[in-house]
Structure formats: C-alpha cells, structure tokens
Amino acid sequence: MTARGWFLFSLMGVIWGIPYLMIKVAVDAVSPSMVVFTRCALGAALLLPFALRQGGLTRTVRTHWRPMLAFACIEIMGPWFTLTDAERHLSSSTAGLLIAGVPIAGVVLARFFGGAEHLGARRVAGLALGLGGVAVLTVPHLTGGDARSLGEVLLTVLGYATAPLIAARHLRDVPSLQLTAPCLALSALVYAPAAAATWPTAVPSGQVLAALAGLGVICTAVAFVAFLELIKEAGPTRATVITYVNPAIAVAAGALFLDERLTAGTLAAFTLILAGSVLATASPVGGRRRGGRPVPWSLRQTSRAGGRVEVLVDLPEERPGSTGQGGG
C-alpha cells in the first residue's frame, strides 16, 4: 500500500474510533434527538452539494425510494438514536466494543437471510469467541440498571448488520453519495421536531458544541469522503481492515479523555471480540470460483453512529471505487 494509502488508513482508524467519545460528551448536555439531528443535518449540508453535482439525484431517489427509506431507517434513524441514548448510561469504551460485534452479527444474518454462505469451523469458532467477548463485557452491567442501555446497543448492532444486506441486494447500482446524502437529509427532517422540542435552554459549552460539530463534519462528511478515497487507493478488502482498529481507538479515547476505567474485563472482552471478528469474517482459502476464477469476498461497510464497522457479505466484485453504501 502506498504512503497515501497508509495515511488514509490511519486517518479512518481514528475518525471512526472517536464518535463514541464525542457522543458521550454531547449526550451529557443535550438530548439524544438533538445529537442525531445535528449530526445528520451537518452531514447532509456538506454532502448534498456533491451529490447534486453528480447529476441524476432526483431520478435515483424516485427509482430506489423504498430500499433507500428502509436503509435510512435501519442504518441511521434507529441505530444512531439507540446508540446515543445508550451512552447516557454506558461508557463510550463499552459502547465501542459492543458495536465491534457488528461483523459477527452480519455473518449470522447473511447466513440466514443473505444467501447460502457456508460457515466452516474457523468462522463458527470466531462467532463463539465474539459472543464470549460480548458476554464478558455485558454481564457486569446486567445488575447495575443498564439492561435497557445494553438492549439499545444490541438493537444498534442488528441495524448496522442488517442495512448492508439491503444495500447489497437493492442499492448496489446507487452511487454512494446519492445514497448517503438523501438518507442523512431525511433523517435530519425526521428528528427536527424532537430536536426542537428538546432544544437546550442555554447555549451548551464549547466542548459540547465541538463534539456535535465533530460528529457531523469529521465523523460523517469528512469520514465518508476519506473512506471513498481509501477504497480507491487500497481496494475494498484492505480498506475495511479499519474495522479492527476502531474499537482500540474507542477504548483508548475513553480512558484518556473521559477517565473511563480500563479494566481486565474490558481488555479480555476486546481481545475476544477482535479475535472473533477476524475469524468470523475471514474468507475461505481461495474463495469460491466462478468460471475458473476466484470470486472476491466484497466487504460492505455500515455507517456508524459511533463509527463504521464493516460486515462481510459474499458478493460479486464491485466497480472500482464503489462502496455500494453511504458514509457513516
């Protein structure tokens, strides 16, 4: 990989590892609805001009409005709210580690709903390891009144794992910008009334405003553009390895900036979830073959309210530079 590729890879590892920290800072001062609205509105405002410049945006929306609506609901509207609301009670590092289990959920969903993908012994072992890590992380919270928050994070995981299946089946021909920008704009409109009803009576602190701006500008708009460039530079498979960097950044950021405890249980959970994700999403040796040629294992990314986590889906090779999905 080139020096430019490594720079983009490092950038994305950080950009999609810090949203959990920013959400935690913001949600302590403003409502979850306000956080989601601000992020969507800023992201849409920055990306819509580029989507319009591509041309054909209206035609794309008219043709694909049903799957785009489903994608917006399952990928953005639901998960971004549930994750943000959960972080009122959970630490940012806990949320980041639980979201790291999205690839594992994606493998299970792809198996039962996305095609006849075979799960070998290595991938089954990965699923077991990952679930073990989730258990290590969640069991201590079950007696502390956080069961609802854990449920919200699990709903977020299911949303992030399901949305790529919709994109892979119904939105593969939609340019990424023309998928992401309208979905963000629609989500902002949906959350505008709730954000207005919970508008803070006083101007939030500079730290909170910076967190909100960072979520919308850096973790949504800039991240989306940078990830597209990374895919062009390094290819989709290498690009999605950031999946395994983001949780470490989330844990480190929580410990450094929010004084969240880095316990032995957290480290054990991180190790198990990381190892499980790597094994569960590993492609079989040599891949499947079509006409004597290896068929690549394309990786579909989910936008993350708290970062982006990629989900493995067995798909034909994509166009160069296309992610088949919107930004996170």
Q: Which of 70, 97, 134 is nearest to 309 (CA)?
A: 97
Distances (CA, A) of 305 to 17, 41, 52: 11, 14, 24
Structural domain contains residue 254: yes
pTM of structure? 0.78
Structural domain contains residue 322: no
DSSP-derived pairing of the beta strands 299-302 and 309-312: antiparallel
Structural domain contains residue 327: no
Q: Match 């021909």 to its residue by tokens.
A: 173
Determine the structural domain holding residue 301 and report its residue range: 3-283+293-312
Structural domain contains residue 208: yes
Q: What is the pLDDT along the chain (328 residues), one digit of tens a residue?
A: 678 877 887 888 788 889 999 999 999 999 999 999 999 999 999 999 999 999 999 999 999 999 999 999 999 999 999 999 999 988 888 888 888 777 778 777 877 765 545 667 887 787 788 778 777 777 766 655 578 888 999 899 899 888 888 887 888 888 888 999 999 999 999 999 999 999 998 999 999 999 999 999 999 888 877 876 776 776 655 655 566 677 778 888 888 888 887 778 778 877 887 787 777 666 654 444 444 333 333 334 444 444 444 444 444 333 333 333 333 4
Q: How many domains does the chain have?
A: 1
| Cα Rg, the chain, nearest whole Å | 19
Structural domain contains residue 8: yes
Which residues, at least 6 apart from 23, have a Cβ–Cβ distance to it below 8 Å?
A: 35, 83, 84, 87, 92, 95, 211, 215, 305, 306
Structural domain contains residue 323: no
> What are the two backbone dihedrals, phi and then psi, of residue 192, each rounded to the nearest 5 degrees?
-60, -45
CA distance 303 to 13: 14
Structural domain contains residue 288: no
Structural domain contains residue 318: no
Handedness of CA 245, 251, 254, 259 (dihedral sign): negative
